[in-house]
Each structure stands twice: as C-alpha cells, then as structure tokens.
Amino acid sequence: MGDITHILDLERIDADIFRGPVVDSGFARTFGGQVAAQALVSATRTVNDGKSVHSLHGYFIAAGKASEPTIFLVDRLRDGKSFSSRQVRAVQGGETIFSMQASFHRDGDLGPEHSDRMRDVPAPDEIVDTRSRLSVSSRALLDEWGDWDIRVVPAEDYDHNPYTPSQQVVWFRSRRPLPDDDTFHVCTLAYMSDMTLLHSALVPHPDHHVQMASLDHAMWFLRPFRADEWLLYDQVSPSAAGGRALTHGRIFDQSGNLVAMVTQEGLTRSLRQGATSIPLSTLEPGQ
C-alpha cells in the first residue's frame, strides 16, 4: 500500500474532474477508505477557503479494481453563505463504483458545546501483541496497512456496555509525520475510518467466516485533530442480520476530545465454501 501523501495526491484533469493514482496493493479490490478519502479530496478542492467539511455520506456501489486509477467527478450542488454542498462520483471503466455527498460549514461559528466522554482504556504504549487477537483476514489487512500503527485494546481491559452486543476499541495513528494541514488530516481520517470498523461486528462471532465489504459510510468531523497522533476508535455493532451488519464508531484524541463519528453498514454474508473473506488476487463475482 502506498503512503498517504501519494494516495491523496490527485491529478486535476479539469475544473471539477480529478484522477486518483493507482496504489500498490495485495488485494484485488480497492480499499473502501481509499475511495472515500480520494472523493473527499476532490470535493475539498472545489470549495473556497473559509469552509471546512463537517460531514460526508457515501455508498459503495461496485467493487473497485485496485490495479486501475479512479476518476472523480464533482458536482457543485450549492454554495451558500454558511454551507456548501458537493456530490462526487468515483468512476472506473465508465461505471460508478462510489457516490458521496459532503457538506462544508463556515469556519468560526459559535454555539453551545458538549461531548461524550472517552472510555477509560490502557494507553497505546501499554498494548502489545495485537496480532494474536485478530482474525486471519484482519491480520492480512494489518500487513496491507504497514504505514499505520493499529493496536486493538484487549476486551478484558475496559468496561463493557451490557446493552451492546458487539464492542471493539482500537488505538490508531499514522506512523509517518503528516503535513501541517487540517484538510489533509481530515481526508486522512476518512481513509483510516474504514480500518477495523466492520470487523467489530464479528467480535461475538469469532468462528463465523463471512464475506466482507463496505456498503455505505457516513462521517461527521467535530473537532480538530492530527491523524499522526494517537486516536481512539471506540466501535460498536448494534445489529447484524440478513447478511449485513451495522457498525458505529466514535473517535477521540488522546486527551479525550471527541473529534469524529462514523456509521457504516457492511456485508457480512456467510462465506460459501472455497471463497475468501477479502479477495487477494481476483474479484469475487457479485456481492
């Protein structure tokens, strides 16, 4: 997998058309976080300074091919005094593989403030041997994400919500120092947010083998942060049924500030014999 500065370095083909680079990958399908992050980069490049993205909502429509570049087409839906809206389509071979809407809000507005509190969990430096607690597919993803320091908090090391069936807590950050650019960190977190989240749905089902794919992805950016400093990804899966799982994550910085929230539905269909959870070389037919 290429480094994040290469991944987010899109070529501008026309005023509202961009091309994402081919990124070396051991997987046949394009990583969903990559498509979402590149789509967000495309949208941000069409919005004037003074507004920052506060939310995005995307649908993964078809599996992307990791070996091919992706074209991003931006529609300027609205530019108001306080808010701007953009729609982005990610296209490969003439087919839309991802569709996203993003909203941008004027910087500097003031209002009442409150926030959820972060769980009491061990610091990232206290966590060792993360790999042995992960599934085979998760370990393969860790190998793919070598630029990212990802540490799963042991389940016995934090208090559990008794009303939530599936919980997982993960520390993560970029291993590489990143540019001093708030927008770059936001787009990087869009990439990172697809890491490990869907796997939180499998915590109560460690021996159930499933075909996995992101179906949709929504994010809200709440407070400033750096993606090269430790962030805590507090994940739950409220429901799994019918071959789909709903997951939700709250992202805190190490000081306990709630900086972002994510909601995602993904495919968790029982794996047919001979198939793999995440294709390594050829695309699985259909979804």
242: tokens are 């019918």
What is the rounded distance in angstroms from the CA atom of residue 221 to the CA atom of residue 260? 5
The verdict on whether 194 is a catalytic residue reads yes
The verdict on whether 49 is a catalytic residue reads no
Catalytic one of 38, 99, 138, 194 = 194
Catalytic one of 92, 211, 237, 264 = 264
What is the rounded distance in angstroms from the CA atom of residue 18 to the CA atom of residue 8? 11
DSSP string, the chain: ---HHHHT--EEEETTEEEEPP---SSSBPPHHHHHHHHHHHHHTTS-TTEEEEEEEEEE-SPPBTTS-EEEEEEEEEE-SSEEEEEEEEEETTEEEEEEEEEEEETT-------PPPP----GGG----GGGS-HHHHHHHHHTTTEEEEEPPGGGSPPPTT-S-EEEEEEEESS---S-HHHHHHHHHHHTTSSTGGGGGTT-TT--EEEEEEEEEEEE-S---TTS-EEEEEEEEEEETTEEEEEEEEEETTS-EEEEEEEEEEEEEPPTT--SS-SSSPPS--
What is the rounded distance in angstroms from the CA atom of residue 104 to the CA atom of residue 46? 11
Q: Are 2 and 147 in contact (CB under 8 A)?
A: no
Catalytic one of 42, 99, 214, 237 = 214
47: tokens are 């919005």
The verdict on whether 253 is a catalytic residue reads no
Question: Which residues participate in catalysis according to the annotation?
Answer: 194, 214, 264
